[in-house]
């Protein structure tokens, strides 16, 4: 049950990350609106205090001045900001908005300025805000307003949600990578079944012909030998996965001809006929590489063209040439071509133009040619078909 829950959470990780991203955006907007509202309120309060100070200074009547000062003090208390005024000897002269009950500085009750908690609070306030020094050497200790504390809490909340969103994003990425790896394993399993299925079905057909006592037993034996050789090569291919590539002299002409020779007797010859031809200079040109993997790549390119012509017939041309320091293999067919929507991701695992395809053949060919042998594989769109061009470094000497 726990494992099932973990899988569900991994699948939901991208959605969770996206949701948290929207939450962070919402909190940011809420925080911004709160800051704007706080600044407006603060500007209004400061303007009101400034007006009363100016009124107290311009009116010389002692009673009015005293009333103005009392109103200013009351308004400062209303801000909720903790304030402590201490003289040079450290005695508390005035305080307001203490964060403990009962408030010893509340003007509505008997004040107790000797409360040791006031002095301790003043020291705590000095740790975050440097006290203000007056002309008479007295000091004013102050804290944050409730709005300021609320904004601080919002910032902490935003940071926490952001951390969770990043964690969920990393988790979602790993879950996607895990899912991608699972799809690759499935595709490899399907590819192995596909690789093994062709020679097995072919061998079964030859055996049926032997049962019918056909006279061409030597020819059938030849084809059966080819199927057994292919099964052996398929086993060697999957043994090579994850191991260092070999470096041997490989004639790309003879290798391509061998692949075509295997496919030719197994291609449709009546309805939807497919013709396969190879144009190569004898055994060469030569490259340095792993013959098992290179044969796999060439076979994947030719099989891709065969699949493109399935149900309609056509022609496939495989051309091998040496051009400067590179050996070029061109596999071209006159099939339906490749749609524009998949051309940019054609060599990625899982991308296929066939309804039942798993999109592993071209991805394997690309990895073998480019990653293992330092070459290049590209697709070229032609009128009435498709062309794949593989380039490999030519063997010098």
pTM confidence score: 0.49
H helix runs in the chain, sequence order: 2-58, 62-78, 116-128, 146-211, 217-240, 252-263, 291-309, 340-343, 361-366
| Distance of alpha carbon 265 from alpha carbon 209, whole angstroms | 15
The structural domains of the chain, with segments of one domain joined by +, span 82-143, 244-393
* pLDDT bucket at 318, cuts 50 / 70 / 90: very high
Please name the residues in contact with 134: beta carbons below 8 A apart, sequence gap of 6 or more: 140
Query: Of the segments 152-156, 311-315, 352-356, which one has the largest average pLDDT value?
Result: 311-315
Q: Taking residues 59-82, what's their average pLDDT?
A: 68
The rounded distance, in Å, linking the Cα atoms of 94 and 295 is 91
Which of 153-157, 178-182, 267-271, 343-347 comes out lowest in average pLDDT? 178-182
Confidence of residue 350 (pLDDT cuts 50, 70, 90): low
Give residue-wise pLDDT tens across range 255-294: 999 999 888 887 887 788 999 999 998 787 999 999 888 9
The number of C-alpha atoms within 13 Å of 109 and in the hemisphere containing its C-beta is 9
Of residues 76 and 372, more confidently modeled: 372
Mean pLDDT score of the chain: 76
Q: Which residues contact 339 (CB under 8 A, 6 or more apart)?
A: 353
Residue 383 φ/ψ region, left for φ over 0, alpha for ψ in the -120 to 50 degree band, beta for the rest: beta
Range of 66-70, 185-189, 202-206, 292-296 with top mean pLDDT: 292-296
The reported pLDDT for the residue numbered 319 is 95
DSSP-derived secondary structure for 105-165: T-TTS---TT-HHHHHHHHHHHHHSPPEEPTTS-EEEE---HHHHHHHHHHHHHHHHHHHH
**Higher-pLDDT residue of 237, 4:** 237
Other CB atoms closer than 10 Å to residue 113's CB: what's the count?
Answer: 16
Out of 25-34, 51-60, 201-210, 311-320, give the one with best mean pLDDT.
311-320
Q: What is the pLDDT of residue 327?
A: 95
Cα 60 to Cα 382: distance, rounded to the nearest angstrom:
97
What is the structure's pLDDT at 104?
A: 82
Look at residue 85 and give its three-state secondary structure.
strand
Q: What is the pLDDT of residues 196-254, one digit of tens each?
A: 656 666 666 666 666 556 556 667 667 777 777 767 666 666 666 666 778 899 999 99
CATH topology of domain 244-393: Heat Shock Protein 90 (3.30.565)
pLDDT of residue 176: 64
């Amino acid at each position: 049950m726990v494992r099932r829950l973990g899988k569900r959470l991994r699948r939901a990780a991208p959605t969770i990350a996206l949701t948290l991203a929207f939450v962070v955006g919402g909190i940011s907007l809420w925080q911004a609106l709160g800051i704007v509202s706080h600044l407006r309120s603060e500007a209004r309060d400061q303007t009101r205090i400034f007006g009363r100070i100016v009124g107290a200074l311009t009116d010389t009547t002692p009673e009015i001045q005293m009333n103005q000062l009392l109103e200013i003090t009351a308004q400062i208390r209303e801000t909720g900001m903790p304030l402590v005024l201490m003289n040079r000897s450290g005695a508390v002269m005035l305080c307001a908005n203490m964060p403990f009950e009962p408030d010893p500085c509340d003007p509505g009750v008997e004040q107790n300025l000797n409360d040791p908690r006031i002095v301790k609070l003043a020291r705590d306030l000095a740790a975050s805000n440097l006290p203000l020094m007056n002309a008479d050497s007295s000091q004013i200790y102050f804290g944050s307003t409730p709005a300021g504390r609320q904004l601080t809490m919002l910032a902490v909340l935003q940071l926490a949600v952001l951390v969770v969103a990043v964690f969920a994003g990393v988790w979602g990425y790993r879950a996607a990578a895990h899912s991608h790896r699972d799809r690759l394993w499935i595709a490899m399993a399907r590819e192995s079944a596909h690789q093994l299925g062709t020679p097995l079905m072919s061998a079964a057909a030859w055996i049926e012909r032997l049962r019918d006592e056909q006279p061409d037993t030597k020819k059938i034996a030849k084809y059966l030998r080819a199927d057994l050789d292919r099964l052996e090569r398929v086993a060697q291919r999957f043994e090579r996965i994850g191991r260092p590539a070999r470096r041997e002299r490989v004639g790309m002409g003879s290798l391509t001809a061998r692949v075509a020779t295997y496919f030719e007797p197994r291609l449709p010859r009546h309805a939807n006929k497919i013709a396969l031809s190879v144009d190569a200079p004898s055994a060469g040109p030569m490259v340095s590489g792993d013959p098992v993997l290179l044969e796999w790549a060439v076979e994947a390119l030719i099989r891709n063209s065969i699949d493109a012509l399935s149900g309609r017939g056509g022609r496939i041309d495989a051309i091998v040439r040496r051009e400067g320091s590179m050996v070029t293999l061109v596999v071209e067919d006159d099939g339906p071509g490749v749609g524009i929507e998949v051309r940019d991701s054609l060599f990625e695992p899982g991308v296929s133009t066939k309804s039942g395809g798993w999109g592993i053949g071209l991805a394997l060919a690309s990895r073998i040619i480019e990653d293992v042998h330092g070459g290049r594989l590209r697709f070229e769109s032609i009128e009435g078909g498709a062309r794949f061009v593989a380039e490999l470094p030519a063997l010098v000497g």
